[in-house]
Chain A
Amino acid sequence: MGFFDKIKRAFTGEEKIETTEVTEKYEKGLEKTRKSFSDRMNELFANFRTVDEDFFEELEEILIGADVGYEASMEISDALRQEVKLKNAKSQGEVQQVIIEKMVEIYEKDNTEKPEININKEGLTVILVVGVNGVGKTTTIGKMAKRYQTEGKTVVLAAGDTFRAGAIEQLIVWGERVGAQVVTGKAGSDPAAVVFDAVRQAKKQQADVLIVDTAGRLQNKVNLMNELEKMKRVIEKEIVDGPHEVLLVLDATTGQNAMVQAKQFKQTTNVTGIVLTKLDGTAKGGIVLAIRKELDIPVKLVGLGEAVDDLQEFDPGEYIYGLFSGLIKDSM
């Protein structure tokens, strides 16, 4: 479509254009003493003697405050209301059980399988890591590399961020820390070419895992999204079934824009999983619940700090408990 066409249509709107540790770290701020999950749930609901409208209103606020989003929060709380009625839950113990179970059910849908990183059993696994600026892509790659190296796998890292100052050096430091080889290009060079070199190198070395770092990019930048698509195409061309995993890194501190990020990155790179970082902070990243509902992208890993071991599998039960720990904090 021509330039003026676009402007004119935008002006007139005559035609819409088609466009397309686990436990304790989750609830920092609470007592550090180890308590069983159900103990903590008791504590949580003890603050409400009756499960009435106030209770659900507070629950809604907690969900909104956790960035779940207004609509999703309302839907969830409606579902919980219904479920409590349906199961005829009366005692506190029953109500809390019903709520947690229902939340997990909503999240898991029909799929109770643990969403694991897809590993290619027949050879090289290629993982592409994407996301907006500063969310924790490079750090997550360092942490993942450590895991695979510890499992005895050979890991190669591709320094596909040739744009940001110090990005290549940052990945090199991580490579040194965990003992993974890093394939680099010159600063400012074509990132797709770096990916190409890295794939060749990983194949030649018969490495087990290749993780590709990419520059942070905002999802509304068409050119940068095209660049990303090109990087993915290089992988597809060189590796049958590759990339085996496209991980979108989301910062738990991000609000409703994360939904837009997920939509756009899914469209461009067919995201297969989410890494939710910075959960060691006070933000909860509740938008992943809405993303799961609307786009069906599962959270696979969570980042819980800046150190190499601060990476965990995602556990919906623990995560949902973490969301509601606010009920305790607020009423204390």
Chain B
Amino acid sequence: MAFEGLSERLQNAMAKMRRKGKVSEADVKEMMREVRLALLEADVNFKVVKDFVRVVSERAIGSEVLESLSPSQQILKIVSEELTNLMGGEQSTIQMAAKAPTVVMMVGLQGAGKTTTAGKLVNHLKKTQNKRPMMIAADIYRPAAIQQLETLGEQLDIPVFSMGDQVSPVEIAKQGIQKAKEDHLDFVIIDTAGRLQIDETLMTELTDIKAAVNPTEIFLVVDAMTGQEAANVAASFNEQLDITGVILTKLDGDTRGGAALSIRSVTGKPIKFVGQGEKLDALEPFYPDRMANRILGMGDMLTLIEKAQQDFDEKKNEEMTKKLKDNSFDFNDFIDQMDQVSNMGPLEDILKMIPGMSNAPGLENLQIDPKDMARMKAIVLSMTPKERKNPDILSQSRRRRIARGSARPIAEVNRMIKQFNESKKMMSKMTKGNFDGMDGMFGQGVKGKIGKMAMNSMVRKNKKKVKKKNKNKR
């Protein structure tokens, strides 16, 4: 998952510091050298890195810090604060116009993901805010750009306005919005062609569209894999168009995602959404503080919890927890759980949100082939209902029958049953609140002080959230 590599490097740099009782200026320099490297390797712009290193060093080398009782902790705190700063504190959501329709322009370099993201965004707003959206096809240059948008419109059952590729994009945008008003649609998104920020003609086209339709939001769509140029590209689009926000795409890859930090730092504009896949539901709001925590290796418990809440059937979940506690978890539940897990998306994504897990060795190789799932399911389905309920009765002869029934080797059946028993034990421990065993399980576990710090801050925020929720209830 994106940001992993950066997270790992930063943690290593800081782990060394953590072990020190007394910290010298040279120690700080040494750590910052590694932080610098970690950021550069993650594609953070080198000028942004320079500034970051300077600010952190200045704060860290101050005498209050070095001569304090716990210098290493203070320095780590400075790093995490400045990093969160760089990511841009609070979450910002999409603005809506006071008077409908809300108009949004999608702009960016070629192939960044504008058209796909336009589809994701209207889908998101239709689903979460009951918007009545429309998309306007204002890319008259790329071959089949209009068909691409129309296909997305069909898939989502959302109207697409187009006038072919012989009319100027400015005109298309104007007339499209007129049409949206006539049809009483309240959210309009304009898909524009990809362009280089140095292409004067095409950049003027965008400023013309902006002047003609007065958009509520102008989103710069940026590929998360972008390298050093992300800073220049974002600065230039921002200068010419005064963008209102950024959407980062392709975060489902394994990029270290430093572009996010560069963009934020040079434009000061918030990242509002992130794209996490090619499918039309793969769009999520961006939470800068959570992301900063994730980079520092604290995991993203909030996202995980929310995702689980969203995807797991609450009642089933309660039952499951109870079963785990009483140790009556059986193969039926196992299948159930497996189905739910596969509904939640790639497993490694989920696992990586657990604190400390992002850094677990070998996790990058944890690719679970849906075929593996299917095979396990086949084995379970070859068990009799009684066997599924009572895994203990699985004798050798029963196992041989199951192997034949599921067309899997007996060794595989044995292995799976053994693993089932082991993980049952482990899970039952976890639900009882015994996290002792987890340290080993998660490699190094939640990493030291900084991890605890983040956990605490997360817990605090979570409490606040719960309070807020309760308030709303009243």
Q: Which A positions have Cβ atoms within 8 angstroms of B?
A: 2-13, 15-17, 19, 28-29, 61, 64-67, 69-70, 132-136, 142, 163-167, 169-170, 172-174, 177, 187, 216, 218-223, 251, 253-258, 260, 278, 280-283, 287, 306
Contact = CB atoms under 8 A, between A and B. Distances in A.
A256 B360 CA distance: 22
A8 B416 CA distance: 12
B419 A67 contact: no
B229 A223 contact: no
Contacts of A260: 254
A321 to B, nearest CB: 19
Interface in B15-52: 37, 40-43, 46
B363 A172 contact: no
Interface string B88-117: 000000000000000000000111110110
A220 B256 CA distance: 13
Given A163-B278, A220-B253, A254 B362 contact: no
Contacts of A135: 111
A283 B361 CA distance: 34
Nearest to A187: B151
B232 A172 contact: no
Nearest to A69: B41
A253 B253 contact: no
Contact of A3 (B258, B376, B443): B376
Instruction: Give the bracket for the number of chain B residues in contact with chain A.
Output: 35 or more
B121 to A, nearest CB: 15
- Nearest 3 A/B pairs, CB to CB: A255-B227, A166-B148, A134-B111
A169 B226 CA distance: 27
B226 A255 contact: yes
Contacts of A283: 227-229
B223 to A, nearest CB: 7
A202 B321 CA distance: 59
Given A169-B144, A253-B229, A255-B228, A4 B361 contact: no
A217 to B, nearest CB: 9
B350 to A, nearest CB: 11
B46 A19 contact: no
A211 to B, nearest CB: 16
Contact of B361 (A5, A13, A173): A13
Nearest to A283: B229
Interface stretch (B55-63, B168-176, B364-372, B387-395): B364-372
A255 B259 contact: yes
Contact of A136 (B111, B223, B364, B370): B111
Given A3-B368, A3-B376, 7 more contacts: A2-B412, A11-B443, A29-B198, A165-B149, A172-B144, A256-B256, A287-B227
A187 B152 CA distance: 13
Given A66-B228, A163-B278, A306 B144 contact: no
Contact of A65 (B46, B250, B364, B419): B46
Contacts, number: 201
Contact of A2 (B145, B372, B440): B372
B368 A282 contact: no
11 contacts: A8-B423, A136-B110, A165-B119, A166-B148, A167-B148, A172-B144, A173-B144, A221-B252, A223-B369, A253-B223, A253-B227
A99 B226 CA distance: 28
A257 B362 contact: no
Nearest to A168: B144
Contact of A10 (B115, B144, B148, B365): B365
Interface in B136-186: 141-145, 147-152, 155
B473 interface: no
B197 interface: yes
Contacts of A15: 362
Contacts of A5: 415, 419
B363 A10 contact: yes
B309 to A, nearest CB: 22
A67 B227 CA distance: 6
A55 to B, nearest CB: 17
Most chain B CB within 10 A, of A70, A255, A257, is at A255
Nearest to A17: B365
Nearest to A251: B111
A165 to B, nearest CB: 4
Given A133-B113, A166-B148, A219 B253 contact: yes
B228 A65 contact: yes
A4 B233 contact: no
A4 B423 contact: yes
Contacts of A218: 250, 252-254
Contact of A11 (B112, B365, B441): B441
